[in-house]
Structures are given as structure tokens and as C-alpha cells.
Amino acid sequence: MVLSELVDEFLLYISAVKGLSENTVIGYKNDLEQLKSLLTPTIDITQITKENLLLCIGQQSKQNKAASSVNRFIAAFRTLFSYALRYGYVEKNPALEIKTVKMPKKVPLFMTENEVNQLCHEPVNNELLWETRDHAIFTMLYSSGCRISELTNLKLQDFMDNYSRAIVTGKGNKQRIVYFEEQAQKALFLYLEDRRKKLEENHCSQQTQELFINQKGKPISVGGIRYILDRYSGVEGTNHHINPHAFRHTFATVMLSNGADVRLVQEMLGHANISTTQRYTHVTTEKLIEVYNKAHPHGTEK
């Protein structure tokens, strides 16, 4: 079997049999396409060695790929060859002994209270696209700690208790409950009325269940939300560009800073491993040190 055939079969397997999300499958596909380009698609998989794979990693490093991207690439071909070994296509897994590269310690990017409040209200103060929808998107992201993919997949039937909470489906198709505080609820109610009118204007079916729609009445995509945020945090808006995940980082940081138990925050974020959530305790500690150094007479930052 050649590499391209193995990749095609593997992608079909994780999609149809394992039921992994579309985004996860696309991620594997992108990384394995790189493997094919570096090794050539027609190479016999039994001829691929550990040394071949190490050279591929070296090529990734030469292209100045981030450590996280290189590690994702390694994880992708590791899983591919584990699949090949399991189904008897190879007698030995050449990726078994390959280690991931060392990751630099990065503090998650989050917004200050003033920054997040300014951004959440930017659609109201500076209507670039669709005021009520965009205001609802930003306040709901901040209120719930949702991933943007989880927000785009929200349907009307997922909500409970007068839109104060909802069931979202996260990574690995795991479901959890997220919560929306009063400001987010108010923004959502205003948007829902506009949404109804927009569907009527576009002669769309009132049975459309996706919560967030575009100007044509069609369900909005993850790319659509990224575009909206780019506009409002770009030069036309706050002029302080923000990645959508910063809302999630900010939610976690605020919750832990105000005394929330780390395991409860883990549950609200849908983290499989508590160590992922604990990154934010380091953020709050660093922030406290920064405030101390600025405020104390003997602080280091003067």
C-alpha cells in the first residue's frame, strides 16, 4: 500500500467509523497532506523509516513552523502509523519512538475588564455589520467561555431556562452545560427579534434552528465569526486585534481570579485534563505579581 492510499483510508475511518468532528478530520488531513508532500504520495508505507519521519520534522522546523504545529504534525503521523500497524499494513510502527518537540511556555492571551467591555459594546457603538447579532455573539462568548465552533453550532432547542443556559457539544462530541448572565441574555433577546425579521425578509423557513445566521438568513460559520471579530477589533473598531479564543481565555482568568474552584472552571470550559485549566491559575498569579510590583513602594516596576 502506498502512502496516499493509507491516508485516504485513515481519513475515512476517523470520519465514518470513529465519528470525529469535521474540524478534527480537516486538521488530520492538512497535516497528512504535508507528510505526503515531504515523502511523496506514492512511497510504499513499508519503506518509510524513523529517519524519513525525522527528516520531515526537520523540514517543518526549517519552515519556521511553531512548536505546536510541529507537534500536531507528529501526532497526526503517529496516529496514522498506529492505524497501519493495527490493521496489518506494516509490521513495525516507524513513528513509535519519535518524541514531540519542546514547547515554549506561553501565557494565554486574555483581555482586561476594560478591553472586553469595550469590544462587547463595539457593535452597539460602531455598527459595522449587524449590531444586535454581533453584540450577542461577543457577550455570549465572554459569558459562557464557549469555543466559537460551539457557539456556531448552537441551535434554538439547545437552550433552557429562558436562555440562561444551553447544552453545547465540544471536542470529542462531549456535551456540557454553559451559562449566560443577564447582559448576555438581554443581548440575545434583542438579536432573536431581529433574527425573526431577517428570516422573514429573506423568505427563509422559520424552522431554521441555528441560532446565529448571516445577512442572507443562512447559518453562520466559524469563519464568519472570525471575520466579524476581525472587523470590530481591527482599524475600523477598537484597533486592538483579538483572536476569538481570547474570550475563552478571559472567561477562565476572570472566573479563577474571582475565586471559582478550578475543577468547576474545568467543567465549564469542557477541558478533559485539569492541567489545561490550571494554566490560567499561572495567569492570575502573574497578574497579581504585576499589580504588586506597580503598587508596592519597593516594587520592581517603577
Q: What is the pLDDT of residues 240-255, one digit of tens each?
A: 888 888 888 888 887 8
pLDDT the model gives residue 283: 55
**245 flagged as catalytic:** yes
Q: Name the catalytic one among 29, 36, 78, 171.
A: 171
pLDDT the model gives residue 302: 45
| DSSP alpha helix (H) spans, 48-129 | 50-62, 67-86, 113-125
By the 10 Å C-beta count (0-12 exposed, 13-18 middle, 19+ buried), 263 is classed as exposed
Rounded mean pLDDT, 24-53: 92
Return all residues near 290 (Cβ < 8 A) that are at least 6 apart.
301
Rounded mean pLDDT, 107-125: 81
Q: d(Cα 210, Cα 189) in Å, to the nearest integer?
A: 15
**135 flagged as catalytic:** no
Q: d(Cα 95, Cα 279) in Å, to the nearest integer?
A: 29
**147 flagged as catalytic:** yes
Rounded mean pLDDT, 112-120: 85
Q: Name the catalytic one among 133, 135, 147, 198.
A: 147
pLDDT the model gives residue 277: 62
CA separation (Å) from 229 to 30, 117, 131, 135, 191?
Answer: 25, 14, 12, 11, 17
The pLDDT confidence band at residue 291, using thresholds 50, 70 and 90, is low
Higher pLDDT, 266 or 78: 78
Rounded mean pLDDT, 16-43: 90
pLDDT the model gives residue 280: 61
Q: d(Cα 151, Cα 153) in Å, to the nearest integer?
A: 5
DSSP run (H or E) holding 284: helix 274-295
| Phi, psi of 217, deg, nearest 5 | 85, 10
pLDDT the model gives residue 279: 62
Rounded mean pLDDT, 213-219: 89
Q: d(Cα 1, Cα 51) in Å, to the nearest integer?
A: 20
**171 flagged as catalytic:** yes
pLDDT the model gives residue 285: 56
**249 flagged as catalytic:** no
